[in-house]
Chains A and B, each alone.
Chain A
Amino acid sequence: MAENDLFFEDVAVGDDIPSLASRATLVQMAMYAAATWDFHRYHYDKEFAQSKGFPAPFVDGQMFGGLLTRMLISWTGPNVVLKKLNVKYRVMVFPGEMIICMGKVAQKYTEGGENLVRCELWVENENREKVVAPANALLALPSKSINMNGVSS
């Protein structure tokens, strides 16, 4: 087990998840496009985006899933299993905007030998508009007692 593990016993309903701020820049959007081999002009070509009626290139929605996951696993440590993540996109995000990923613990329960935590998540822009909401994640956390894999922590 790693030093920074968050255990099931450490978590309470209502706990805030440490937020994650990230600035969307054209460079970062191009990096995401390149890393995912998604070369759609929506995400880097201003002229093309405007020709389709959008004010500027916009962030690929799936990147928010990546950022929310980064926030979650930074919080829990590596000995977590992400089971589900649902996201709804509300407002488009354009280059230069600061976005903040946030969340809180909504529910904790044990099922099928797993220690599960459901988190409510959302992403805000600088104007406090929710750009991603609602979002939900289901995580299996390690336990301080001997877990189902027989691994004692």
Chain B
Amino acid sequence: MTKESLVTPEIKAMVGREEVFSSSEELGRATIHRFAVAIGDSNPLYLDEEFARNTRHGGIIAPPTMIFELNHNLGGEISEEDGGYLDKVTLPAPLSRFIRGGNEYEFFQAARPEDKITLKRKVLQVFEKRGKAGPLVFVNVEITYMNQKGELLGINRETLIFMLE
């Protein structure tokens, strides 16, 4: 007996699609400071210019995983219903619930207060698996982060797991 796949042609068509988002403003020290506070990190590498200048980094850098959250800071419109960004990777109903399966971060260069970030987001793969509580749809996304000089800062490969309502 075959069952209809949850991965519809509409969902399959997401694979390979690439989107680019660019920030028109510098990250700034405040963004770095707030992120550090949010993870309880008082390391002077993120907060104290004089201290940071005397490290191999030569100045304040962002906590390494911060750039991978910058998908949001690019100012997209937000849905009042779920608080999510309208341009986020999402699947149509009935697959509207999702959780995060994993992240693979690769770091090439630290982000700095003066950086203006551009990111490229691409859906690599979509596939269905049967979980304990029902079918799941896995979406692998690759997001590449660059600064204003076109230098590669990092790559985030993440797995989102979508479930039925």
Contact = CB atoms under 8 A, between A and B. Distances in A.
A85 B64 CA distance: 10
B104 A86 contact: yes
Given A61-B100, A62-B103, A89-B100, A28 B38 contact: yes
Contacts of A82: 64, 107
Nearest to B109: A81
A40 B103 contact: no
A3 B69 CA distance: 31
A36 B39 CA distance: 11
A42 B99 CA distance: 10
Contacts of A31: 34, 37-38
Interface string A51-66: 0110000001111011
Given A82-B64, A89-B102, 20 more contacts: A28-B38, A31-B38, A32-B39, A35-B38, A36-B35, A37-B73, A39-B72, A39-B83, A41-B82, A62-B69, A65-B68, A66-B39, A73-B45, A79-B56, A83-B107, A84-B104, A84-B106, A85-B65, A87-B103, A89-B101
Interface of A: 2, 22, 28, 31-32, 34-42, 45, 48, 52-53, 60-63, 65-67, 69-70, 73-74, 78-79, 81-89, 92, 142, 149, 151
Interface of B: 31, 34-35, 37-41, 43-45, 51-52, 54-57, 63-66, 68-69, 72-73, 78, 82-84, 97, 99-107, 165
